[in-house]
């Protein structure tokens, strides 16, 4: 059942969102002087999966078969997708499918998201090297690692304790020192580190949790799938304007695993 979750649920209905501004020079400087990025990139230099990853990015993310208007074009996002070793985030028996563009089960009824969706959501956040991002739904830690390649700090919350534990260990092993994993119900966000420059929710919620809106910095974005569990949901882009006004846009139909709540 969960095998089909966290992927676009069909042809996108709305027009493509505008590209965010590129953080050109600042980004180049930051990537030269940022040890976690370098560590992760160098580690993968003799990686036999590099070519598969390149192909995935080229054929499914930079030019998705379901519509050129949904191509992910942000160079930093594409670089992150080419760098993060997705095969380290999937169960060993699914290794051969690690670079297919689809979600895969990771145990506990959960899934690692489809690579295209990870890239698309990351691009929507419009984040750069100075930013601090909150993720709800750590799962395997893959989305957190992709973000960690781009931003200064990632805070991520996972409700299933064994998943939080294994994601924390995996991210540490891969050298992502700028990710902090917490076990708990992400509905309430993580007040201690708020406000965030972006928030990403990777489980389908019935509504946008108000505490997350509160913890979003003015001028920042949140990406969240909203809709009924185990059905098609809508990927929403939410922007908190400088004056505090909330604007939201429906982007595409998706299928995510449900946002659950602690008893």
For ligand SAH, which stretch binds (CB under 6 A), given 73-81, 155-163, 189-197, 240-248? 155-163
At closest approach, how far in Å is the CB of 76 from ligand SAH?
A: 18
Q: Are 147 and 201 in contact (CB under 8 A)?
A: no
Which of 86, 150, 160, 91 is CA-nearest to residue 116? 86
Active-site residue, 113 included:
yes
| Cβ 220 to ligand SAH shortest distance, Å | 19
Nearest in space to 138 (alpha carbons), one of 171, 174, 100: 171
Q: Hey, CA dihedral for 224, 228, 234, 236, is it positive or negative?
A: negative
Pairing of strands 196-201, 132-136: parallel
For ligand SAH, which residue of 111, 153, 215, 234 counts as binding (CB under 6 A)? 111
- SS (HEC) of 60-99: HHCCCCCCHHHCCCCHHHHHHHHHCCHHHCCCHHHHHHCC
Q: Please state the closest distance from residue 5 (CB atom) to ligand SAH, in A.
A: 8
116 is an interface residue for ligand SAH by CB under 6 A: no
Could you tell me which stretch among 50-58, 111-119, 217-225, 233-241 binds ligand SAH (CB under 6 A)?
111-119
Give the distance from CA 230 to its chain's centroid: 20
Candidate list 83, 122, 143, 215; residue touching ligand SAH; CB under 6 A: 143
Q: What share of the chain is helix, strand, coil (3-state, %, to 5)?
A: 35, 25, 40
Of 22-30, 54-62, 189-197, 254-262, which part binds ligand SAH (CB under 6 A)? 254-262
Distance CA 78, CA 124 (A): 13
Q: How many CB atoms lie within 10 A of CB 218?
A: 12
**Binding residues for ligand SAH restricted to 20-49, rule: CB under 6 A:** none
CB of residue 258 vs ligand SAH: minimum separation in angstroms? 7
Options 113, 153, 178, 215; binder of ligand SAH; rule CB under 6 A: 113
Is residue 81 close enough to count as binding ligand SAH by CB under 6 A? no
Only segment of 40-48, 73-81, 133-141, 214-222 that touches ligand SAH (CB under 6 A)? 133-141
Q: Are 260 and 239 in contact (CB under 8 A)?
A: no
Q: Within 181-200, which residues bind ligand SAH (CB under 6 A)? A: 185-187
Say whether 156 sits in a helix, a strand or coil: strand
Q: In terms of residues, how long is the chain?
A: 263
Identify which of residues 30 and 209 has a Cβ nearer to ligand SAH in the complex: 209
Residue 6 vs 253, nearer CB to ligand SAH: 6
Minimum Å distance from CB 129 to ligand SAH? 21
Active-site amino acid positions: 113
Residues near ligand SAH (CB under 6 A):
110-113, 136-137, 139-140, 142-143, 157-160, 163, 185-187, 202-203, 257, 259-261
């Amino acid at each position: 059942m969960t095998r089909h979750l966290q992927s676009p649920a069909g042809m996108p209905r709305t027009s493509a969102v505008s590209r965010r501004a590129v953080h050109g020079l600042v980004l180049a400087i930051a990537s030269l002087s940022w040890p976690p990025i370098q560590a992760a990139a160098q580690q993968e230099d003799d990686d036999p999966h590099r070519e598969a990853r390149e192909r995935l990015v080229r054929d499914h993310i930079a030019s998705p078969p379901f519509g050129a208007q949904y191509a992910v074009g942000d160079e930093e996002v594409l670089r992150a997708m080419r760098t993060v070793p997705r095969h380290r985030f999937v169960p060993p028996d699914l290794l051969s499918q690690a670079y297919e563009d689809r979600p895969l089960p990771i145990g506990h009824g959960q899934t690692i998201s489809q690579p295209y969706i990870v890239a698309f959501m990351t691009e929507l956040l419009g984040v750069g090297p100075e930013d601090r991002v909150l993720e709800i739904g750590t799962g395997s830690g893959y989305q957190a690692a992709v973000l960690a390649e781009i931003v200064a700090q990632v805070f991520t919350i996972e409700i299933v304790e064994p998943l939080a534990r294994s994601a924390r260990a995996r991210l540490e092993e891969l050298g992502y020192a700028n990710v902090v994993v917490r076990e708990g119900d992400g509905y309430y966000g993580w007040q201690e580190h708020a406000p965030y420059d972006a928030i990403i929710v990777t489980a389908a919620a019935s509504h946008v949790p108000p505490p997350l809106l509160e913890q979003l910095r003015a001028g920042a974005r949140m990406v969240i799938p909203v809709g009924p569990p185990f059905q098609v949901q809508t990927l929403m882009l939410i922007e908190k304007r400088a004056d505090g006004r909330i604007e939201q846009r429906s982007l595409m139909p998706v299928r995510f695993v449900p946002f659950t709540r602690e008893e």
